[in-house]
Amino acid sequence: MNQYPQQFSTQTAYTQPAYSAPLTMDQAKTIAQQYLDRTGNPDLAVKEIMEFQYNFYIIYYEKSTGRGAFEMLIWKLTPPGSMMGGGMMGGYGAAGVIMPEPGPNMMWNIKCSPMANGLMGYRNQASATISISQDHAQQLAQAYLDSHFTNAKTEMATEFYGYYTFDFTVGGTVAGMLSVNAYSGSVWYHSWHGAYIQEVDFT
């Protein structure tokens, strides 16, 4: 399994040149690509960018495996300190800054996590055997949706190292996402995005 380049931690917040706020999708594409270029890893690529009310959500994936590598956010406006992602990441939670997405991406990603050893770095546990299949994870995600939403349904899933992230719809319209731990089956709802607006796929 190829390691991500040690000279550039793949989940390090990176401040771009100043942008007017709120950011646009075109600006988010530019930031996401510039961040990708800085990794220096030819095996990484952008899978999709989703625009939400408060931020842009980016999936970076491995071209060699097709598997999700990590998730990043770009805030459209500087979030209040009380919002997860603003207070959690301190000064990183500002408009125009690309930063690791809080939650599962930081706590459950066993290959590339900024929480590894308390530093922005890696853990090479990518070969550990998972106990929750994607089908089982989808069942757990659906059970969570059934207990918290009306007319909600799990949709596309991305498998990351240690967890799965699912988009979901409410009444047929994209409404958000949630993740399922591939070892414990724990479900984590992404509460920091706000309303869904649009997305761009790159694969």
| Cβ-Cβ contacts under 8 Å for 135 (sequence gap 6 or more) | none
The domain boundary residue, chosen from 93, 122, 151: 122
Residues 86 and 193 sit within 8 Å (Cβ to Cβ): no
Asked if residue 140 and residue 177 are part of one domain, the reply reads yes
Asked if residue 110 and residue 20 are part of one domain, the reply reads yes
How many domains does the chain contain in total? 2
Asked if residue 26 and residue 95 are part of one domain, the reply reads yes
Point out the least confidently predicted range of 6-10, 32-36, 135-139, 144-148.
6-10
Residue range 122-131: mean pLDDT, rounded:
59
Report angle CA 187, 190, 194 to the nearest 5 degrees.
Answer: 150
In a domain, 147, yes or no: yes
Does position 94 have pLDDT exceeding 90, yes or no? no
The H or E element that residue 38 is part of is helix 25-39
pLDDT: which is higher, 4 or 70: 70
Give the model's pLDDT for residue 118.
Answer: 33
Asked if residue 159 and residue 64 are part of one domain, the reply reads no
SS3 173: strand
Asked if residue 101 and residue 166 are part of one domain, the reply reads no
In a domain, 21, yes or no: yes
Asked if residue 138 and residue 118 are part of one domain, the reply reads no
Does position 81 have pLDDT exceeding 90, yes or no? no
In a domain, 198, yes or no: no
Residue range 130-141: mean pLDDT, rounded:
95
Which domain does 35 fall in, by range? 14-122
Asked if residue 179 and residue 114 are part of one domain, the reply reads no
Asked if residue 156 and residue 106 are part of one domain, the reply reads no
Predicted confidence band at 130 (pLDDT cuts at 50, 70, 90)? confident
Which among 196, 33, 20 has a CA at the least distance from the CA of 95? 20
Asked if residue 162 and residue 108 are part of one domain, the reply reads no
Residue range 55-59: mean pLDDT, rounded:
96
Tens digits of per-residue pLDDT, 1-52?
334 433 334 555 454 555 556 789 999 999 999 999 998 999 999 999 999 9
Asked if residue 100 and residue 42 are part of one domain, the reply reads yes
